[in-house]
Structure 1
Amino acid sequence: MRFAANLSMLFTELPLPQRFAATAQAGFAAVEIQFPYDVAAAELAAAATAAGVEVILINVPAGDLMQGGAGLAAQPRLQAEFAAALPQALAYAQALGVRMVNVLPGRLAEGVSRQQALATLAANLDAAADFFRPHGIRVVCEAINDIDMPGFLLRTADELAVLLATCNSRDIGMQIDLYHMARMQQDIPALLSKHLPAIAHVQFADAPGRGEPGSGELALRQYLQQLDALGYRGWCAAEYRPTRPTVETLAWLTTDAW
């Protein structure tokens, strides 16, 4: 199994450029970053190269989403702003060697119907796929629970699959976070079996606290072994909030644990 570390949540005891070396020392071969845009792409690329780790995924800029706003991808009035975010994401993706970018749907904006938001999101996903495809970069999209993020537009794997079926692009992948699906009380073994052909990227944390594996109630080992048995060959990214210094939460990473 291939495990990556989310540098936006792990090793946050260190500045972002220093997290690459710490990740490599801990035994990870790859990392992902939610929003790397506050640090120069060249600085991050140099740190990744020096550490010998691959950067597998970043998010497309999402406007005010992380500050509690609706974001960019599902707002009809902000399609120009979404389009303007794509070249910025491409610049970072190319500098870092990233081959996958995640478009976050965002929250349902005030004054926008759900139907309008979904239509806008589908159009923006198609635009993003067309934009990144010539560069060998795949677009994925993610459902997020609406307990942690009230008002989030897509909350389950089924909702995400229905939305992707309305897109013209057939190569947009599903990003499945086991933590978010558990918070929505989804049957995780069933959804993994149902949606495996479309799953391009997996993230995980324990629930309900979003800590490291073993800190909560999820059968993460079982779920990840199921993915392996089903033939999933993508990355599984640890995107949790460590309950202790990150290096003290990595017992799950040892080979014999899986």
Structure 2
Amino acid sequence: MPRFAANLTMMYNEHAFLERFAACARDGFRAVEYLFPYEHPAAEIRSRLDGNGLVQALFNAPPGDWAAGERGLASLPGREDEFRRSVETALGYARTIGNDKLHVMAGLIGADGERARHHETYLRNLAWAAEAARGDGIQILIEPINQRDMPGYFLSRQDEGQAICREVGAPNLRVQFDCYHCQIVEGDVAMKLKRDIAGIGHIQIAGVPERHEPDLGELNYPYLFDVIDALGYNGWIGCEYRPKAATSDGLGWLRPYLQAAQ
């Protein structure tokens, strides 16, 4: 039976961020994820989780200057010290909030960027992050992201993500498998899940191509949820989509799963 986490960066934007925890709990969610928690004290977020019976599934390490267009630091040569500080900040939050998964974004590479140099930087930084997180029992995640939504992002394909994890060789490094990104870049989502499930640390969903609710668009999510169950995945599935209208009004797709879990 799939277990779903509400992505509070994209969902429940009708409410202020700290009010989204209660809103999603009222709708039946039992876990949350989001991009970044750093505008709020970790203790305040933990209070919202505990007060609403929610589990924190994951969040991202600081990505550099997001407002200026940066999308992560992990592959950026010359930014290693900043990357390490970002991971240390994220681990401090995770120790309080209680999640055991942390996504570190790779960053952008320009058209004239030296891909080999970015690759080596990525490997070194991921090895450092995995070792830094290991003592806390935290898994480091990397995510292939499509070039339409994030042009220039260093990592786009599932096989590349799995290969990087093998190169690093850390037992707590896994791929964050977003079905939305995979469908846009590669398609054949069910077969990618079957091929890579041993190296997948977290799964996310959204409708394709508009990134609305998962019952809208070209992917057959009920089928994919059956595949995921059959593969033995028991982690959270993050709902990282932009509701077409009010969030609660678009949750008809979720209600059968909540009823079956009762």
Which deviates more from structure 2 when the two are superposed, residues 231-240 or residues 164-173?
164-173
Letter in 2 for 1:180: H
Q: Aligned residue for 2:217?
A: 216
Matched, 1:187 2:175: no
Find the aligned partners of 2:189 and 2:66 in 1 and give their Cα distance. Answer: 26
Unaligned segments of structure 2, at least 5 residues: none
Runs of 4+ in 1 over 3 A off after TM superposition: 109-112
Distance 1:28 1:129 in 2: 29
Cα distance in 1 for residues equivalent to 2:224 and 2:67: 28
CA distance in 2, matches of 1:27, 1:71: 32
> Quick check: 2:141–2:201 contact (8 Å CA) kept in 1?
yes
**What residue number does 2:51 align with?**
50
- Aligned position for 1:143: 144
Partner of 1:71: 72
Matched, 1:98 2:99: yes
- Which residue number in structure 2 is paired with residue 236 of structure 1? 237
The secondary structure found in structure 2 opposite 1:216 is coil
Q: Which moved more, 1:195-204 or 1:154-163?
A: 154-163
Identity %: 37
1:196 aligns with 2:192: no
Please identify, of 107-116 and 201-210, the stretch whose mean Cα deviation from structure 2 is larger.
Answer: 107-116
Secondary structure of the equivalent of 1:27?
Answer: coil
SS of alignment partner, residue 89 of structure 1: helix
Structure 1 unaligned spans of 5+: none
Number of aligned positions between the proteins: 258
Structure 1 distance, partners of 2:196, 2:31, is 24
1:112 CA drift (Å): 3.4
CA distance 1:256–1:168, change in 2 (3 Å): closer
Q: Is the Cα contact below 8 Å between 1:71 and 1:106 reproduced in 2?
A: yes
1:89 counterpart letter in structure 2? A
Query: Structure 1 residues 157-166 or 105-114, which shifts more?
Result: 105-114
Residue 170 (structure 1) shift:
3.0
Could you tell me how far 1:65 is from its partner in structure 2? 4.7
TM-score under structure 1 length normalisation: 0.95
Give me the whole-angstrom Cα distance separating, in 2, the residues matched to 1:24 and 1:18: 10
Distance 1:139 1:256, change over 3 A: closer
Q: 1:216: how far off?
A: 1.4
Match of 2:7 in 1: 6
AA aligned opposite 2:102: V
Give the Cα separation in 1 of the matches to 2:43 and 2:235: 26
How far residue 220 of structure 1 moved from its aligned partner, in angstroms, is 1.4
Cα deviation, 1:47-74, whole Å, max 9, x if unaligned, reads 1111110111010111135642353111
Amino acid corresponding to residue 82 of structure 2 in structure 1: E
C-alpha separation in 2, matches of 1:63 and 1:171 = 23
Distance of 1:186 and 1:161 partners within structure 2? 17
- Tell me what 1:19 maps to: 20
Q: Evaluate the alpha carbon distance shift between residue 112 and residue 183 of structure 1 in structure 2; reply closer, same or farther with a 3 A threshold.
A: same
| Displacement of 1:171 | 2.5
Quote how far apart the aligned CAs of 1:223 are. Answer: 1.1
- The answer as to whether partners of 1:55 and 1:98 remain within 8 angstroms in 2 is yes
